[in-house]
Structure 1
Amino acid sequence: MSTFQYQDKIQKLPIPPLKDTCERYLSVLKPLQTEEEHKRTIAATQQFLNGIGPHLDEQLREYAKTRPSYIEQFWFDSYLNYDSPVVLNLNPFFLLEDDPTPVNNTQVKRAASLTQSSLEFVRALRREELPPDMIRDTPLCMDQYNKLFGSARIPTSTGCVMQSDQSSHHIVVLSRSQFYWFDVLDKENNLILTDEELGFNFDSILKDSSKSTPSEIARSSFGVLTTENRKAWANIRSNLLNDPTNYKIIRIIDSALFVVVLDDIELESLSDLSKNMLCGLSILDKGAQVGTCTNRWYDKLQLIITKNAKAGINFEHTGVDGHTVLRFCSDIYTDSILKFAKSINPNSPSIWKSKSPSLLKKDHIDTNVVTIPRKLEWNLTSDLSLALRFGETRLSDLISQNEFAVLEFDSYGSDTIKKLKCSPDAFVQMSFQAAYYALYGKVECTYEPAMTKQFLHGRTEAIRTVSMESNLFVRRFFENVPGKEKLDLLKASCAKHTDTTKKCSQGLGQDRHLYALFSIWKRYVADAGYDSDGDVGVEEVHQDNLSDSSTIGNDVNHGEKDVQFSKDIPPIFEDSGWDKLNNSIISTSNCGNPSLRVFGFGPVTSNGFGIAYIIKSNSITVCVSSKHRQTQRFVDTLKHYLEEVKDIYDQEIVSAEKVKERGRLQQTRSGNLNYLLGGYGYFDLEDDEIKSRGNSPDRMGFRRGGISARQLSEKLRLAEY
Structure 2
Amino acid sequence: MVRGCWGVLNINKHRRPTRRATSSSNQRASSSQTETKHRACTLAATMAEAHQAVAFQFTVTPDGIDLHLCHEALRQVYLSGLHSWKKRFIRFKNGVMTGVYPGSPAGFMIVVVSYMSYNKYKQLDPSLGLIAKLGQHIPISRYMSTDSQRIVGGVLVGTGLWVTIIMIMRNVLKSLLSWHGWMESRHRSLPFGTRLWLILVKVFSGRKPMLYSFQNSLPRLPVPSVKDTCRRYLESVRPLMDDEQFERMKALSKDFENNLGPRVQWYLKLKSWWASNYVSDWWEEYIYLRGRGPIMVNSNYYAMDFLYVIPTCIQAARAGNAVHSIMLYRRKLDRAQIKPIYLLANKVPLCSAQWERMFNTSRIPGVETAQYERMFNTTRVPGVETDTLQHMNESKHIAVYHNGRFFKVWMFYDGRLLLPREIEQQIERILADRSEPVPGEEKLAALTAGDRTPWAKAREQFFKSGKNKQSLDAIEKAAFFVSLDDTEQRYDADNKVKSLDSYANSLLHGKCYDRWFDKSFNLIIYKNGTMGLNAEHSWADAPIVGHLWEHVLSMDSKLGYIEDGHCHGKPHPNLPGPQRLQWDIPTECQEVIESSLTAARTLADDVDCHIIPFDDFGKGLIKKCRTSPDAFIQIALQLAHYRDKGKFCLTYEASMTRLYREGRTETVRSCTMEACDFVRAMVRDETREERLRLLKVAAEKHQDMYRLAMTGQGIDRHLFCLYVVSKYLGEESPFLKEVLSEPWRLSTSQTPLQQVELFDLVRHPELVSSGGGFGPVADDGYGVSYIILGDELINFHISSKYSSSETDSRRFGDNIRQAMLDMLALFQLEKKAAK
Matches within 5 A, 1:283-322: 292-300=511-519, 301-322=521-542
Paired residues of 2:405 and 2:441 also in contact (CA < 8 A): no
- How many Å apart are 1:655 and its aligned residue? 2.9
In structure 1, which of residues 130, 137, 142 is the aligned counterpart of residue 347 of structure 2? 137
- Distance (whole Å) between structure 2 residues aligned to residue 361 and residue 409 of structure 1: 42
Q: Does the CA-based 8 Å contact 1:116-1:195 persist in structure 2?
A: yes
The answer to whether 1:611 aligns with 2:784 is yes
1:85 aligns with 2:294: yes
Structure 2 residue aligned with 1:286: none
- 1:632 equivalent in alignment to 2:806: no
Q: Which residue of 2 aligns with 1:227?
A: 449
Paired position in structure 2 for 1:674: none
In structure 1, the residue matched to 2:745 is 585
Q: Which residue of 1 is the match for residue 503 of structure 2?
A: 273
Structure 2 portions without partners, runs of 5+:
1-208, 356-372, 491-498, 564-568, 754-758, 760-767
CA positional deviation for 1:524 = 2.4
Amino acid paired to 1:579: S
- Cα deviation per residue 1:665-717 (whole Å; 9 max; x = unaligned)? xxxxxxxxxxxxxxxxxxxxxxxxxxxxxxxxxxxxxxxxxxxxxxxxxxxxx
In the alignment, what sits opposite 1:534? none
Aligned to 1:49, what secondary structure does the other structure show? helix
Question: For residues 355-434 of structure 1, what are the structure 2 equivalents within 5 Å?
Answer: 372-434=577-639
Deviation of 1:311 after TM superposition, in Å, equals 1.1
- Give the superposition deviation at 1:656: 6.2
Report the secondary structure of 1:406's partner residue: strand
1:632 is aligned with what amino acid?
R
**1-structure distance, mates of 2:740, 2:243:** 16
In 1, Cα distance between equivalents of 2:308 and 2:381: 34
- Asked if 1:643 is matched to 2:817, the reply is no
Which residue does 2:796 correspond to in 1?
622
CA distance in 1, matches of 2:825, 2:267: 55
Structure 1 CA distance for aligned equivalents of residues 645 and 560 of structure 2: 50
Provide the C-alpha distance between the structure 2 equivalents of 1:239 and 1:71, rounded to a whole number of angstroms. Answer: 35
1:58-96 Cα distance to aligned partner (Å, 9 max, x none): 111112222111011211222111000000000010102
Following superposition of structure 1 onto structure 2, how do residues 159-238 of structure 1 map, counting pairs within 5 Å? 159-185=386-412, 191-208=416-433, 210-212=434-436, 219-238=441-460
Q: Give the structure 2 partner of residue 654 of structure 1.
A: 830
Amino acid at match of 2:653: E
Alignment partner of 2:715 out of 480, 504, 510 = 510
1:29 matched to 2:237? yes
Structure 1 residues 30 and 512, CA gap change in structure 2 (3 angstroms): same
Kept in 2, the 8 Å contact 1:47–1:571? The answer is: no
Query: Pairwise mapping of residues 84-103 of structure 1 onto structure 2 (< 5 A)?
Result: 84-97=293-306, 102=311
> What is the deviation of 1:592?
3.7
Residue in 1 that maps onto 2:180: none
2:545 counterpart of 1:325:
yes
Deviation track 1:413-432 (CA, whole Å, cap 9, x = no partner) reads: 01111112211111111111
Distance (whole Å) between structure 2 residues aligned to residue 219 and residue 577 of structure 1: 44
Aligned-residue offset at 1:601: 0.6
In 1: Cα distance, 2:347 partner to 2:558 partner:
26
Instruction: Determine if the alignment matches structure 1 residue 264 to structure 2 residue 490.
Output: no
TM-score normalised per structure 2: 0.66
Q: Distance in 2 between matches of 1:308 and 1:605?
A: 34
CA distance in 2, matches of 1:62, 1:473: 42
Per-residue CA deviations over 1:418-450 (Å, capped at 9, x if unaligned) read 112211111111111111111222100000111
TM-score normalized with structure 1 length: 0.76
Structure 1 distance, partners of 2:588, 2:376, is: 32
Matched residue SS, 1:132: coil
Separation in structure 1 between the aligned mates of residue 815 and residue 332 of structure 2, nearest angstrom: 45
Which residue is 1:353 aligned to? none
Asked if 2 retains the 8 angstrom alpha-carbon contact of 1:99 and 1:110, the reply is: no
Structure 1 residues 679-698: aligned runs within 5 Å: none
Deviation at 1:507, TM superposition (A): 1.3
User: Whole-Å Cα distance in 2 between the matches of residues 217 and 443 of structure 1?
Assistant: 51
Aligned partner of residue 596 in structure 1, secondary structure? coil
Which amino acid is the alignment partner of residue 700 of structure 2? A
SS state at 1:147 partner: strand
1:340 to 560, 569, 592: 560
Supply the AA of the counterpart residue of 1:488: R
Shift of 1:217: 8.0
Structure 1: runs of 5 or more not aligned: 281-291, 345-358, 526-566, 662-721
Q: Residue 200 of structure 1: SS of its match in structure 2?
A: helix
Secondary structure at the counterpart of residue 456 of structure 2:
helix
User: Does the C-alpha gap of structure 1 residues 98 and 607 become closer, same or farther in structure 2, counting only changes over 3 Å?
Assistant: closer
CA distance in 2, matches of 1:53, 1:225: 42
Deviations 1:324-366 (A, max 9, x none): 111111112112222239x99xxxxxxxxxxxxxx9999xxxx
How many residues of Structure 1 are paired with residues of Structure 2 in the alignment?
575
2:172 corresponds to: none
> What is the CA-CA distance between 1:654 and the residue it aligns to?
3.1
Match of 1:459 in 2: 664
SS in 2 for 1:623: strand
Q: Which amino acid aligns with 2:701?
A: K
Tell me by how many angstroms 1:20 deviates. Answer: 1.5
Instruction: Report the Cα offset of residue 465 of structure 1.
Output: 0.3
Task: Give the Cα–Cα distance (whole angstroms) in 1 for the partners of residues 309 and 463 of structure 2.
Answer: 44
Shift of 1:24: 1.3
Q: Which residue of 1 aligns with 2:264?
A: 56
Q: Secondary structure at the match of 1:152?
A: strand
Q: How far apart, in 1, do the equivalents of 2:741 and 2:235 lie?
A: 15
Tell me the secondary structure at the aligned position of residue 555 of structure 2. helix
Q: Equivalent residue of 2:533, what SS? A: strand
- Sequence identity percentage: 29
2:379 to 147, 152, 163: 152
Cα RMSD of the aligned pairs, angstroms, is 2.4
Which stretch shifts more, 134-143 or 377-386? 134-143
Amino acid in the other structure paired with 1:177: G
8 Å contact kept, 2:222–2:272: no
Match of 2:475 in 1: 253
| Mapped contact 1:603–1:610 kept (Cα < 8 A) | yes
Please say if residues 84 and 228 of structure 1, whose CA atoms lie closer than 8 Å, have aligned partners that are also in contact: yes
The amino acid of 1:597's aligned partner reads S
Counterpart of 1:635, as a letter, is G
AA in 2 matched with 1:465: S
Q: Which moved more, 1:235-244 or 1:370-379?
A: 370-379
Give 2:203's aligned residue: none
Give the match's secondary structure for 1:597: coil
Residue in structure 2 matched with residue 600 of structure 1 by the alignment: 773
Q: CA deviation at 1:577?
A: 4.5
What SS does structure 1 have at the residue aligned with 2:560? Answer: helix
Counterpart amino acid of residue 516 in structure 2 = W
Equivalent residue number for residue 482 of structure 1: 687
The one-character-per-residue Cα deviations of 1:596-619 (angstroms, maximum 9, x if unpaired) are 313111100111111111122102
